Chain A
Amino acid sequence: MPPLLEVDDLHMHFFTRDGIVKAVDGVSFSLEPRETLGVVGESGSGKSVTALSIMRLIPEPPGKVVKGDIRFRGDSILAMGEKEQRKLRGNRIAMIFQDPMTSLNPVYRIGKQIAEPLRIHKNMSRKDSWDAAVELLKQVGIPQAADRARSYPHEFSGGMRQRAMIAIALACGPDVLIADEPTTALDVTIQAQILELIQEIQARTESAIIMITHDLGVVADVADHVLVMYAGRAVEFGTADDVFYRPLHPYTWGLLESLPRHDVDEKGQLCPIKGQPPSLINLPQGCAFRPRCAYSQGVCTMERSGLVEITPGHFSACQFSGDSGFVEKACGFLSRER
């Protein structure tokens, strides 16, 4: 049986006046029901573009898939007509957007917005869809849902709006839920609640989740597998345990080192990754991370390594990841705490 969702060597490029922006340049992963995939990386690493490509929300032009495919239950989403795509969007594949303050339409009541996907996909009557919307609001933990459904977005707080957004995404019982930085715009206490809510929903509905974030803490909490992206490419892929406790790629080390930790006793400083992500128009030759990498060697400028399976199910795109001595030595900071 084909996987639920499969992204196969996706190349999404933007054709701009300044040149070709290779926002996503060869990303592959697949997703099974109930699975949570965490996608992490800096801003501009191609996380969101990957998600928006799955939803076909990238305007074309300037965007264009120059290579690769996205398949839902074996059917290519890219080859589908607009009408078939619409049947998937919001119905089988739903998305939770980053900023709940701007993702709700200010002129409609919350209940009506939650009812909208039901009206579009399930052909429900006004009354039935409204009742279903109230039920959904209850499910995402909004008290007095029947009353609150009559509110307008500006009467909701940020956390409540994100709950409403989740209710919209959940309305049709999607198979795949794409959460694009769902907690970035919220404060920390609300973040934890929203993550809990998403996990609870997954346990109940068996949907697969793609959790896009630049917050490694979020991924550690919820993800089964983790995909680390840099400059539009996957640099490391593995189970959450593998990526967090046995990371192989220098970029992942950098990400983990720049994370504040409460379990480190000494008054150590954070170690951010030096430099800026490269321009996606002129990627450096060889490994894209090479200019910022503390461990780079001559060979890194020459050629770029694709993802290589180092240990079963754990892939890295670094030349030296296969050299366990290199990993042990370089990754000493992590082995200390293991």
Chain B
Amino acid sequence: MAPDFFEDPRRRDIGQAAEEQTFGGSEALAETVVAGRGRTLRTDAWRRLRKNRLALAGLVWICFMIILAASADLWVPHFFGAPTAIDTSKVAQQSLLSPSADHPFGTDKLGRDILSRTIYGARVSLIVGVVAVAIMVVIGLILGAVAAYYGGWWDSIVMRTADVFFAFPYILFSIVLIALLGFGLQTVFIAIGVIGWPSIARVFRSSILSVKNNEYVDAARAMGASTPRILFRHIMPNAVAPIIVYGTMSIGGAILTEAALSFLGVGVQPPAPTWGNMLSEARSSLFTAPWLMLYPGLAILTTVLAFVLLGDGLRDALDVKLKE
């Protein structure tokens, strides 16, 4: 064969023919290339996510809550009063007012503005949701990866421990943890994070196991890649999509758990407002002042729903195989 094979014009014809077969003409090819520029899986996923109305609504709602919670100090106390301020001289007049222009969500027994408390409650809920899930994801990822990649004894130890965690009534378990560690926001993070990791570990383990058998993992080994490189560069990026989805949904779950713990009085302690302890305080005046229950309840419902919808949308958006 001629050594200047690639300069051979006949050769170029073959290449051209192959391209035409694939792309229907070199012009179409050029277009594909231009369209392909700057297109990554991330931008692809974002494009798919944008088409999903419900997921987008969830994302917008979450962003709205984050902005409200983050900017609360700037305007909420000015318009509606501080969430914890009790004006002792006016408690009688201010107590249990129904929603009005001054207090759009009404006031509670001690005359505190419900809107103000709901917005400040969002801070606790969102922080607990994100941090607790971050804790459970870190623990879950490490243990799941160890179980899947090393297998054998490691797999048995990790997964049986996870089974034990699943067998525990989780609210009781976190109450015990809080009782041991003492009250406080950090304790709530830890309690929720520590009970949540088994499901993340399980999802990640099965995800890695399915990715591990792909031929490109063998190809990476054949390339001379080391074990950590294979694990972190070739397996993990292909296995984390379910974790992003599951993690997003878990934020909703963590918010619910925090609300439940605060409702039971073992979460974040009053007077600091959280949606959970607001519900707890609303119990006594459920029929006389239903707005006490309504607004924090709605906040929990919509926020958790938003995270679940977003997680659902991410699942479809991150699925490479789901071609439109």
Q: Which residues of A contact B (CB under 8 A)?
A: 55, 57, 86-91, 94-95, 97-99, 102-107, 116-117, 120-121, 138-139, 141-144, 147-148, 150-152, 154-155, 157, 159-160, 165, 168, 190, 193, 196, 199-200, 203-204
Which chain B positions have C-beta within 8 A of A116? 220, 223, 225
CB of A107 within 8 A of CB of B238, answer yes
The 7 closest A-B pairs by CB, nearest first: A90-B224, A90-B223, A89-B224, A157-B22, A147-B33, A102-B215, A95-B222
A117 to B226, CA, bound (A): 11
Which chain B positions have C-beta within 8 A of A91? 224
CB of B1 within 8 A of CB of A97, answer no
A116 to B37, CA, bound (A): 21
Which chain B positions have C-beta within 8 A of A138? 6
Identify A143's interface contact among B15, B39, B220, B229, CB under 8 A. Answer: B15
Closest chain-A Cβ to B11's Cβ sits at a distance in Å of: 7
A85 to B224, CA, bound (A): 8
A234 to B192, CA, bound (A): 61
A116 to B219, CA, bound (A): 11
For B32, give the chain A residue with the smallest CB separation: A155
Q: List 30 A-B contacts (CB under 8 A).
A: A55-B221, A57-B222, A86-B224, A89-B222, A97-B219, A103-B216, A104-B216, A105-B220, A105-B234, A106-B216, A107-B41, A107-B238, A116-B223, A141-B11, A141-B15, A143-B29, A144-B33, A148-B33, A150-B36, A150-B37, A151-B36, A152-B36, A152-B40, A155-B32, A157-B21, A157-B22, A159-B22, A160-B22, A190-B18, A203-B1
CB of A106 within 8 A of CB of B320, answer yes
List residues 161-211 of chain B with CB under 8 A from any CB of chain A.
none
Closest chain-A Cβ to B241's Cβ sits at a distance in Å of: 10
The dominant DSSP class at the B interface is: helix
A103 to B11, CA, bound (A): 26
For B225, give the chain A residue with the smallest CB separation: A120
B288 an interface residue at 8 Å Cβ cutoff? no
CB of B224 within 8 A of CB of A203, answer no
Closest chain-B Cβ to A292's Cβ sits at a distance in Å of: 31
A152 to B37, CA, bound (A): 10
Identify A89's interface contact among B22, B215, B223, CB under 8 A. Answer: B223
Closest chain-A Cβ to B5's Cβ sits at a distance in Å of: 5
Closest chain-A Cβ to B148's Cβ sits at a distance in Å of: 14
CB of A55 within 8 A of CB of B15, answer no
Closest chain-B Cβ to A212's Cβ sits at a distance in Å of: 14
Type the 1/0 row for B57-83, where 1 means its CB is closer than 8 Å to any CB of A: 000000000000000000000000000
A106 to B321, CA, bound (A): 10
Type the 1/0 row for B13-52, where 1 means its CB is closer than 8 Å to any CB of A: 0111011011000100110110011011100000000000
B237 an interface residue at 8 Å Cβ cutoff? yes
Closest chain-A Cβ to B81's Cβ sits at a distance in Å of: 51
Which chain B positions have C-beta within 8 A of A97? 215, 218-219, 222
